[in-house]
Amino acid sequence: MSTNTSNLHDLVYRHCANQYLSTDPAGSLPQILSSLFDELVEQSSQSKFYETSVGDDYITVSGLFQCRNDLSHDQCFNCVNRLPEMTVPARIRLSGCYLHYKADGSQVSRLELQHKTCSEAKAVNDGFEEVRDGAFAAVVSGVLEGNGFCDTSYESMHVIAQCQGNLERCDCGECVANAVQIAQDECGESISGEVYLDSCFMSYDYDGINEIASNSNQGFGEGPAGNSSSGRGLAIVAGAVAVLLVFFFFYMCQSSRKKSGGKFVKEKLKYYFLAEEQ
């Protein structure tokens, strides 16, 4: 994703209010939401994440906003300031920021899928999966190391992931690992994709189109394509190292909180070690 202002305000998705907000006995919901939006917009000039609650004797609404961590404060404010101007649903996400509000008492799993897109364009070379999986492992490792945000490139793939600002590190890693698993399972060989869960998102974009085209007519290990074979081996090794790093962080999380988040990592370890043996 780019931080170009022209892209930051593109609508990604919007969701309507849930049933808990459909009942408003005092008719005060419009005023409560107005106060909530005013507070969120005001805070967006000095923070990239903020959550609060506003209510009366009948209903309390909690809300939050978050901007991408690579935005400036001015970019964050300009993005969040656009949200109340729209026909605001309970959850709305632009490319650069999002806003979410709900009635107190309503529960949503932080791992619940909110939105997913996969490109129609597919990769055609045998090396794509290794690059993709290495990049995915690297971004999970990155959010664990980088306070819930990671913007990284791996080989020819650019990956971004971010967790909601109130998630602890282990919960963040678990959330992004689940988003990554969805991208892997459902986007497959799509050269780009985005997965948004309740409390995190990840996106990837493969820019090795020329590399795919040039390799598609050559077999690995034959003549000039021998370099492709070597590159594939290096990608597998680098990917395995990234997965081992993820495994280490998850192990530390599980040791300190006895919380399981290692299914994704164990599957990746098995995949890479089998790939190295082939």
- Separation of alpha carbons 82 and 98, rounded Å: 10
- Separation of alpha carbons 74 and 45, rounded Å: 6
Task: Determine the pLDDT at residue 225.
Answer: 40
Of 194, 188, 181, whose CA–CA distance to 266 is shortest?
181
Residues 118-132: pLDDT tens digits? 999 999 877 898 899
Task: Determine the pLDDT at residue 103.
Answer: 80
- In the predicted model, residues of the chain with pLDDT beneath 50 are 1-2, 211-228, 238-239, 259-262, 264-265, 268-278
Two structure tokens written together for 47: 């923070």
pTM of the predicted protein model: 0.77
- Separation of alpha carbons 114 and 199, rounded Å: 10
Task: Determine the pLDDT at residue 22.
Answer: 58
Residues 31-59: pLDDT tens digits? 888 999 999 999 999 999 999 999 888 88
Of 34, 143, 160, whose CA–CA distance to 95 is shortest?
160
CA-based diameter of the chain, in Å?
77
Angle at 199 between CA 198 and CA 204, to 5 degrees: 90
Of 139, 166, 135, whose CA–CA distance to 150 is shortest?
139
Task: Determine the pLDDT at residue 233.
Answer: 54
Per-residue burial over 167-191, b = 16 or more CB atoms within 10 Å of its CB, e = otherwise: bebbbbbbbbbbbbbbbbeebeebb
